[in-house]
Amino acid sequence: MTHHATGPVVLSEAVADALAEGRPVVALESTIISHGFPRPRNLEVARTFEQTLVNEGVTPATIAVIDGVPHVGLDDAQVERIAQDESVIKVSSRDLGPAMVARATGATTVAATALLAHRAGLRVFSTGGLGGVHRGASQSYDESADLTMVARMPITVISAGAKSILDIPATLERLETLGVTVVGYRTKHYPGFYLSDSGYEIDWQVDSAEEIAGIMAANDALGLENAVLVANPLPVDKQLDPELHDRVLAEGLAESEQRGIHGKEATPFLLAWMVEHTQGRSLEVNIDIAVNNIRLGGEIARAWVGRSA
């Protein structure tokens, strides 16, 4: 496979060609592959994500650090490695430098993926759920690096809201303070990841990919450097049963408190708890969420290149 380097970032041939020819490209993160789903299901899921875009005529750019080199666009062997190698670490934006020097292989978080996608010239990035402010953050100061990264990267991020295990109102307040553009796709209700509605409203609703591309262009014309966050709820009939969700989450929060699980350990613990105590239902919802966001990302990427064609 031929590679194209732009500074320290290596683009796959498919991604470099698509960008050069003005064809649509969508960035995908890799922690969802390495840490989001159990093996060997995660490899199958990763291929589904990429195929969803290919079917729409969009080039997928899965992003990861391979042997210390940031890659935008992976070949099948590299996707397999991220999915199957248990020594793959989780790399956030602040970890990129050390990972490069240590020649580590790492899956990129939302923050690291957004940074590398932006460096490669990509404008659209689809993920599952965004990181945010953790419950109890007023004591712990625990807040995801995803938030500050989207405040300074002009990239459009499609997610099903912030993960429902987080403090949603505090996350929305932080996004406002950071000047991040937040729009709801065909909704004014901010989604809660597993749930179609977190119970909190947002100011702007958009009803088409073309409108989102228009907002991107308007932000560019103003010289704004922040991301456009597109909150894309699951259809109500596909969400996790709200009663089941609320009960299992409350039990998981109580359990993590009892065991003294805090900081970056809290999210993986709660997500695993949700999978176990919903009998795997939350995992299937998680896949539906990602595919739903990837499909919308493809539409937005097509609308974006359509504007400049």
Contacts of residue 151, Cβ cutoff 8 Å, sequence gap at least 6: 178, 179, 180, 226, 227
- For residues 201 and 231, what is the distance between their CA atoms, to the nearest angstrom? 11
Q: In one letter, which amino acid is 263?
A: G
Apex CA 156: angle with CA 64 and CA 147, to 5°? 75
DSSP character for 42? H
Q: Is 22 helix (H, G, I), strand (E, B) or coil?
A: coil
Q: Which residues pair with 294 in a beta bridge?
A: none
Residues annotated as catalytic are: 29, 163
Tokens for 190? 């901010």
Contacts of residue 152, Cβ cutoff 8 Å, sequence gap at least 6: 225, 226
- Maximum Cα–Cα distance across the chain: 57
- For residues 33 and 79, what is the distance between their CA atoms, to the nearest angstrom? 9
DSSP assignments along 78-95, one per residue: HHHHHHH-TTPEEE-GGG
- For residues 230 and 204, what is the distance between their CA atoms, to the nearest angstrom? 10
Strands 3-6, 9-12: pairing is: antiparallel
Structural contact between residues 34 and 268, judged by C-beta atoms closer than 8 angstroms: no
Tokens for 34? 């390495």
DSSP character for 39? T
Q: Which residue has the tokens 């997500």?
A: 271
208 HSE (CA, 13 A, CB side): 6
